[in-house]
């Protein structure tokens, strides 16, 4: 595997490498397999290299063929004659997929499994073609989107394929379909990418035989089964394979022995792979962003909505905001079973999202949006070559050191900032299976402070009229502790929440979708022991149609959420969700 970073001088006006303005140097990342340009995994570079003329436009990228002397002047290896002006935006797509789920409760033949999967693959072909017609350059499909979620370890086996490691084997399944036995899905996905000349990220199942005599962890059925993301380039080339690390009641799959940090480079940024439950934990997604400098997360998911803290559209968009990256979330769309919420998210908010249950939107949907390219920052030089390319482990010491350096070291202030106007008494109520400390909003405007443990939260608010507020109950709460329901993860949270029953404070934290209270100002701040704080604002209405705010409606600075001067919306909840990854195993 070779990575070539070419610092190339180009003039935007004359396209003359020797006259590119000072300070305007662009970086082109070529991610190649083997030693020849013809095997580049970037389709545009391959096309440029094949062109007989000196100037070619490929996928919106201006490519220039230059002489060996020009290549030498630019400091580029003589066999690399591809240069590019990188655009500031790109188009991405995700598909909210109403997956066809096979009904057979027994083990089927491989042929029947392929027949069942072909129903979903046919939809993938159609949606990819539609996305490409709208100039999308990458499309992401959901977790379990090819076969569904209702399998045991044995019944899913015919649906699995042995997926090779692209780090050790260069392969374009579409043009070499018979290299590996029973690779129907891999061939189909490769051809979708090749025929539409776009990046394709999808989720499927991987199987790996093992021998107990050689591997003491080998399962009793002598095989590993992994929930797996795969990525293909615009030429159909196999780019990446990621085994999901954080499983969520997925008895049909095995947890890989160590977390994998998998990504690939494109002209619109470095794309990392993570799946569903992964986003709640440090491994592998935090190192992808902080150590490996991923600027785009391709995120297949089968996310069951979990208001008020973890609705798909809220939490996934908050991850993009907190880390200033692009987050491409493709979710299963079966609202009747709580699978709902897909979107294309960025540091400034949602560029496109779909949440269909409130509006009765049971139909699947293709989402396409223009995204800003996030500046690429080269990874730390101390990371080994294999680690840099996601084919090995990050040292535990490196991550611990990195985490320690980033940890906030300040002592939390015990000053009661709002003591003069905040005389409300606190009460406790259960939210997301945890006991929160709350204060009720009793006035049309005001300031509140509430603390629990070492977390203190501060709210300033204003509602448009007092009528709706009198009919509805809102509360402001804090939580500091280890969440132990459906997984262990330490949270420090501040939340403004609409209570399910205006006459019952114990309903603050219970599920509700509807609200009529219009807020014109929300300023939400917290003092946390962690800097991993994820902000979200969820809107609704009296019908329960959930939504996100426009990108510019509010700002976030790391520990404070502030709406803008023109803000006016029916807010269901606003959250600062703090994650202290270092304390996830506390008490275990």
Q: Which residues does the annotation mark as catalytic?
A: 143, 244, 276
Contact by Cβ (8 Å): 288, 297: yes
Going along 453-568, which residue ranges are E strands? 455-463, 474-483, 489-498, 518-527, 533-539, 547-548, 554-556, 560-563
Q: Which of 576, 574, 418, 578 minimizes the C-alpha distance to 496? A: 574
Is omega for the bond preceding 308 within 30 degrees of 0, making it cis? yes
Q: What are 344's two structure tokens?
A: 């294309």
Burial readout 448-467 (b: 16 or more C-beta within 10 A, e: otherwise): bbbbbeebbbbbbbbbbeee
Q: Give me the residue label for tokens 């392969």.
A: 171
* Dist. CA 238–CA 51, nearest whole Å: 24
> Any idea what DSSP says for residue 322?
H
* Dist. CA 409–CA 420, nearest whole Å: 29
Q: CB neighbours (10 Å) of residue 198? A: 25
Q: Tell me how far CA of residue 66 lies from CA of 47, 78, 531, in angstroms.
A: 15, 10, 47
Count how many residues are written for the chain. Answer: 588
The DSSP code sequence of 127-191 is: HHHHHHHTT-SEEE--TTTTT-S---TTTTGGG-B----TTT----TTTSTTSSTT-HHHHHHHH
* Dist. CA 343–CA 369, nearest whole Å: 9
The DSSP code sequence of 59-127 is: TTEEEE---HHHHHHTT--TT----B---SEEEEEEEEB--------SPPPHHHHHHHHHHHHHHHHHH
Q: What are 79's two structure tokens?
A: 């066999």
């Amino acid at each position: 595997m070779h990575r070539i970073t070419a610092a190339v001088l180009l003039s935007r006006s004359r396209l003359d490498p020797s006259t590119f303005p000072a300070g305007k140097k662009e970086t082109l990342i070529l991610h190649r397999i083997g030693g020849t340009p013809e095997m580049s995994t970037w389709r545009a570079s391959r096309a440029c290299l094949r062109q007989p003329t000196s100037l070619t436009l490929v996928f919106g990228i201006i490519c220039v063929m230059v002489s060996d002397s020009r290549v030498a002047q630019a400091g580029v290896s003589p066999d690399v004659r591809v240069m590019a002006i990188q655009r500031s935006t790109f188009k991405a797509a995700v598909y909210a997929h109403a997956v066809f789920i096979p009904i057979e409760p027994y083990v089927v033949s491989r042929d029947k499994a392929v027949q069942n999967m072909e129903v979903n693959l046919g939809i993938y072909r159609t949606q990819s073609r539609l996305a490409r017609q709208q100039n999308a350059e990458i499309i992401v499909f959901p977790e379990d989107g090819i076969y569904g979620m209702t399998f045991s370890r044995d019944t899913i086996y015919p649906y699995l394929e042995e997926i090779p490691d692209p780090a050790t084997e260069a392969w374009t399944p579409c043009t070499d379909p018979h290299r590996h036995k029973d690779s129907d899905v891999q061939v189909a996905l490769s051809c979708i990418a090749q025929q539409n000349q776009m990046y394709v990220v999808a989720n499927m199942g991987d199987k790996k035989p093992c021998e107990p005599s050689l591997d003491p962890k080998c399962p009793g059925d002598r095989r590993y089964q992994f929930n797996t993301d795969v990525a293909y380039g615009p030429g159909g080339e196999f780019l990446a394979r990621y085994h999901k690390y954080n499983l969520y009641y997925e008895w049909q799959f095995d947890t890989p022995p160590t977390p994998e940090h998998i990504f690939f480079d494109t002209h619109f940024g470095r794309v990392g792979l993570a799946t569903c439950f992964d986003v709640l934990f440090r491994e592998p997604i935090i190192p992808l962003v902080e150590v490996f400098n991923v600027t785009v997360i391709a995120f297949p998911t089968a996310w069951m909505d979990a208001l008020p803290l973890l609705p798909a559209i809220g939490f996934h968009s908050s991850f993009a905001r907190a880390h200033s990256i692009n987050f491409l979330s493709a979710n299963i769309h079966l609202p009747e079973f709580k699978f709902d919420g897909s979107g294309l998210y960025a540091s400034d908010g949602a560029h496109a999202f779909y949440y269909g249950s409130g509006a009765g939107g049971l139909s699947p949907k293709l989402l396409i949006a223009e995204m800003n390219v996030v500046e690429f920052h080269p990874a730390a030089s101390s990371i080994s070559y294999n680690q840099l390319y996601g084919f090995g482990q990050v040292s535990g010491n490196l991550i611990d050191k990195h985490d320690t350096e980033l940890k906030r070291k300040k002592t939390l202030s015990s000053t009661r900032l709002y003591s003069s106007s905040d005389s409300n008494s606190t009460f406790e109520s259960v939210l997301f299976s945890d006991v929160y400390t709350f204060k009720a909003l009793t006035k049309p405007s005001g300031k509140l402070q509430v603390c629990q443990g070492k977390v203190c939260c501060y709210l300033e608010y204003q509602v448009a009229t007092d009528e709706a507020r009198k009919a509805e109950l809102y509360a402001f709460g804090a939580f500091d502790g280890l969440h132990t329901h459906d997984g262990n993860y330490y949270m420090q949270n501040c939340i403004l929440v609409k209570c399910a029953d205006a006459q019952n404070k114990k309903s603050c934290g219970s599920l509700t979708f509807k609200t009529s209270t219009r807020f014109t100002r929300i300023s939400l701040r917290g003092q946390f022991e962690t800097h991993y704080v994820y902000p979200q604002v969820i809107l609704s209405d009296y019908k329960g149609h959930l939504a996100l705010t426009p990108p510019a409606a509010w700002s976030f600075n790391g520990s404070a959420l502030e709406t803008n001067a023109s803000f006016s919306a029916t807010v269901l909840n606003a959250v600062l969700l703090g994650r202290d990854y270092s304390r996830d195993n506390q008490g275990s």
